[in-house]
Amino acid sequence: MATKSKFTSDVAPGGELHQHVPEKGPHTGEDHLTTNQGIRVSDNQNQLKAGSRGPVLLEDFVLREKIFHFDHERIPERIVHARGTAAHGFFEVYESLAELTKADIFQRPDERTPVFVRFSTVAGGAGSVDTPRDVRGFAVKFYTQEGNWDLVGNNIPVFFIQDAIKFPDLVHAVKMEADRGYPQSATAHDTFWDFISLMPESTHMIMWAMSDRTIPRSLRTMQGFGVHTFRLVNAAGKSTFVKFHWKPTQGLQSTCWDEAVKIAGADPDFHRRDLFEAIDTGNFPEWELGIQAFDQDFADSLPFDVLDPTKIIPEEVLPVRPIGRMVLDRYPDNFFAETEQVAYCPANIVPGVDFTNDPLLQGRLFSYLDTQKSRLGTANFHQLPVNAPKCPVMNFQRDGMMQMAIPKGRTNYEPNGLSEGAEQRPSDEPGPRECPVTGFGTFASADGAEEQGDKLRLRPESFADHYSQARLFFRSLAAPEQAHLAFALVFELSKVGLEHVRTRMLSNLVNVDPSLAKRVAEGLNMAVPPASKSVTPVQDLKLSPALRIIEGPLTPDSIKGRAIGILVADGSDAKTVTALTKQIADAGARAIVIAPRIGGAKLSDGSILKADGQLAGFPSVLVDAVAIALSAEGTKLLLGEAAAIQFVMDAFGHLKAIGHTPAAQPLLDKAGVQPDEGVVALDKTFVEAAAKRYWAREPKLRTLP
């Protein structure tokens, strides 16, 4: 016998449909489960069958819709930058930049513009880890009052190639090898280094890619760059060249290579989790936006071409002018709907910002729009909430797959003049019209000169110097960073099975710095080959200390925004732990309590301190410094625990500060900790010590080239 439905509808004598109020129950009201058509679902646990053990009926539209959506809920991942995370926030300009640009976003001091920022790795797929050695994407979508402006850059200010026609080759070379489908999210393989060794223009970028810049400690502690030279155009039509820089207010930090590898195993989502938790705890990530603005005369005075995306303008040559700040204060409500569906495009600019003839930028202007159609399946991807401008959108573009707007009126073309007719209906107004005064106008050319010439597939001679800036970068680094870069090259090239590729790469490195080539060759047990041919003489440019992470202008001097691990066990002194936790919080950092069991530890006063992490699953690579707050009882217990010994050993090996109680000394001894200025007592000196990495310790712990 069929049971009565909770919802009944009767037709009244007059033919009008009357819907009865649903019966009261635990799942009635506004939160009732429905299909995508809004039809309420009575049973979401069972398919519709002919009898309890009979066949499933084709008419079960609830099943069909649910399975249909599931079958299609994955969209093609990005070819590059597939692994990413993002956040909402705002940009706030410091002062009017009217002298440089008419862009509305830069006119009124202290005005806030909403932004959506996505960070990403480049080479790995969506399911790869967060911490490989890789360039990081740094893409900012400004929802301005004049439309969306996308500043789509990286955490490296230069790029591998000069011309966009080589981009497919670069990506194919860096991705998994075509015949075997590995390695994933790694450049340490034959095809990448074969390509790079044949492309001298990549040498400068390789110096950055092998540096500590590509193993950042956090997304919050890395720089961002617009990469290309853009233009700013003011209301009078005057153009100024500009390069964009994002500088993290929490300082520039990296990991050690061994640390990055171990983080990947301990927490593949380390950067994603870090960003989420920082915002969730109110420690909002912040960057300062700066610009290098210059005119044509300055550009002509430089020993390289400003349109070459493999070059930088050192800050010592042209200081970066701070113009505003960006704060990320809200994590997406839904990862797929926002982070995965957001579509950036360098062609999205606003009046007052314009392009240059950088050949890599020109290719990107085409490529991004094309790939968004492929990924999101429709020309209407701009209507998705995360992509939709927050200002009025008015045009005559209609229809297309997944059209989400409902345009009104007869006309879908422009110009139209139906409003002038006597029979025109109110809904048939002429609609929007172009406006030469406020609309976007492309900057013509400097001094009215025409850009013309023969049709050529040719690089300009001004793009020919491939080694001088690579030399500038390497020689500007602090000594530990130079050693890390050489080690990275040894590691990567040791994974290359083709000896002639290694030899060819060493030949290029000789042009960068003979001592670097010698260090790498010795690490590979190879002879140093002659330098490869350079089209132009290699210049010794003035060094740029601003390029350093270690001992550089953005080296942090506090623990603000960081995570400090406190290792406790039964018997840990309650007063010591309480005081330490307060000191860490007062310094703007987060204390992470780690114990042998997740339930916590029984302190000296009998209280139970709940743990944030369980020792075996929360290694010290996940924090920035460690405090070993153990009693004699707790130390004795942990001396027989390999995870505890490794916890301390890794903290010391990764050059972090270690604070400890006197009773914990036997554990430090067993872990091989040697006294230095980074190994301190658990008093007020610990918080100060925790702000640093102790690079002088490194030569005692590992062999570097």
Interval 190-246: pLDDT, tens = 999 999 999 999 999 999 999 999 999 999 999 999 999 999 999 999 999 999 999
Of residues 88, 148, 154, 466, which has the active-site annotation?
154
Q: Is residue 555 part of a domain?
A: no
Q: What is the three-class DSSP state of 671?
A: coil
* Confidence (pLDDT) at 450: 64
CATH for 93: 2.40.180.10
CB 590 within 8 A of CB 562: yes
Q: Is residue 3 part of a domain?
A: no
CB 190 within 8 A of CB 496: yes
Interval 436-477: pLDDT, tens = 888 888 888 755 556 777 877 888 999 999 999 999 999 999
**Tokens 């924090």 found at:** 623
Q: Is residue 180 part of a domain?
A: no
* Confidence (pLDDT) at 440: 87
pLDDT over 70, % of the chain? 93
Report the pLDDT averaged over residues 508-523: 98
Tally of structural domains, the chain: 2
Alpha-carbon dihedral sign for residues 214, 218, 222, 224: positive
DSSP letters spanning 253-264 = -B--HHHHHHHH
CA-CA distance, 303 to 306, in Å (whole number)? 9
Band the pLDDT of 39: cuts 50, 70, 90.
confident
Interval 632-642: pLDDT, tens = 999 999 999 99
CA-CA distance, 83 to 165, in Å (whole number)? 24
Band the pLDDT of 27: cuts 50, 70, 90.
very low
Lowest mean pLDDT among 67-76, 486-495, 556-565, 616-625: 67-76
Residue that terminates a domain, selected from 343, 363, 383? 383
Q: Is residue 358 part of a domain?
A: yes
CA-CA distance, 463 to 53, in Å (whole number)? 74
Q: Is residue 61 part of a domain?
A: no
Q: How far is CA 301 from CA 16, 229, 298, 313, 516, in A?
A: 82, 16, 5, 12, 30
CB 589 within 8 A of CB 596: no
Pick the closest to residue 390 from 87, 78, 101, 88 (CA basis): 88
Strands (E), 513-633: 563-567, 590-595, 601-602, 608-609, 613-614, 625-628
* Confidence (pLDDT) at 3: 35
- Host domain of residue 227: 84-156+217-383
Q: Is residue 20 part of a domain?
A: no
Interval 341-368: pLDDT, tens = 999 999 999 999 999 999 999 999 888 8
Residues near 259 by beta carbon (within 8 Å), at least 6 away in sequence: 621, 650, 654
More confident residue, 19 or 548: 548
Catalytic-residue membership of 20: no
Q: How far is CA 655 from CA 26, 251, 695, 698, in A?
A: 57, 18, 6, 7
Catalytic-residue membership of 81: yes
| Average per-residue pLDDT for the chain | 91
Q: Is residue 307 part of a domain?
A: yes
Of residues 18, 20, 44, 81, which has the active-site annotation?
81
Interval 47-102: pLDDT, tens = 888 988 888 888 988 888 888 888 888 889 999 999 999 999 999 999 999 999 99
For residue 461, what is the enclosing H or E element? none
Residue that terminates a domain, selected from 331, 354, 383? 383
Report the pLDDT averaged over residues 518-527: 98
CATH for 638: 3.40.50.880
- Model pTM? 0.91
Residues near 156 by beta carbon (within 8 Å), at least 6 away in sequence: 135, 136, 205, 208, 209, 213, 214, 225, 227
Q: What is the largest CA-CA distance in the chain?
A: 99
Q: Is residue 147 part of a domain?
A: yes
Angle at 131 between CA 129 and CA 132, to 5 degrees: 85
Secondary structure tally for the chain: helices H, strands E: 17, 20
Residue that terminates a domain, selected from 383, 404, 426? 383
Question: How many other C-beta atoms lie within 10 A of the C-beta of residue 251?
Answer: 21
Alpha-carbon dihedral sign for residues 389, 391, 392, 395: negative
Pick the closest to residue 344 from 111, 113, 75, 120 (CA basis): 120
Backbone angles phi, psi at 268, to 5 degrees: -60, -20
